[in-house]
Amino acid sequence: MIDFVLQVKGYHKVYARYFQSNPASGKVMQKLGMKQEGILLKQVEKEVEDIISNGIIK
C-alpha cells in the first residue's frame, strides 16, 4: 500500500500515528519502513497519553 501511494499516486510522504500504549502498532510501522518523527506529548487529556508520529518519505 505504501509503495502504491508513493509510486503510483505520486505522494511525497506517508505518515501515521499511534498511541504510546500500543507499541505493536509502532512495530508494524517500522517493518513497513517508517521512521519515528516525533512524540506529541499528552495529546489525549482523559488518559494523559502521548502519541507517536511515524513517516516515510519517497
Residues 6+ apart with CB under 8 A from 54: 15, 16, 17, 18, 26, 29, 30, 34, 35, 36, 37
For residue 13, give the H/E element and its range.
Answer: strand 13-19
Q: State mean pLDDT over 3-13.
A: 93
DSSP 8-state class, residue 7? I
* pLDDT reported for residue 10: 94
Task: Return the half-sphere exposure (C-beta side, CA atoms, 13 A cut-off) of residue 24.
Answer: 0
* Model confidence pLDDT, tens digit, residues 9-49: 999 999 999 999 999 999 999 999 999 999 999 887 777 89
Q: Is pTM, for the whole model, over 0.85?
A: no
* Between residues 14 and 1, the one the model is more confident about: 14
* pLDDT reported for residue 14: 95
- The answer to whether 28 and 34 have CB atoms below 8 angstroms apart is no
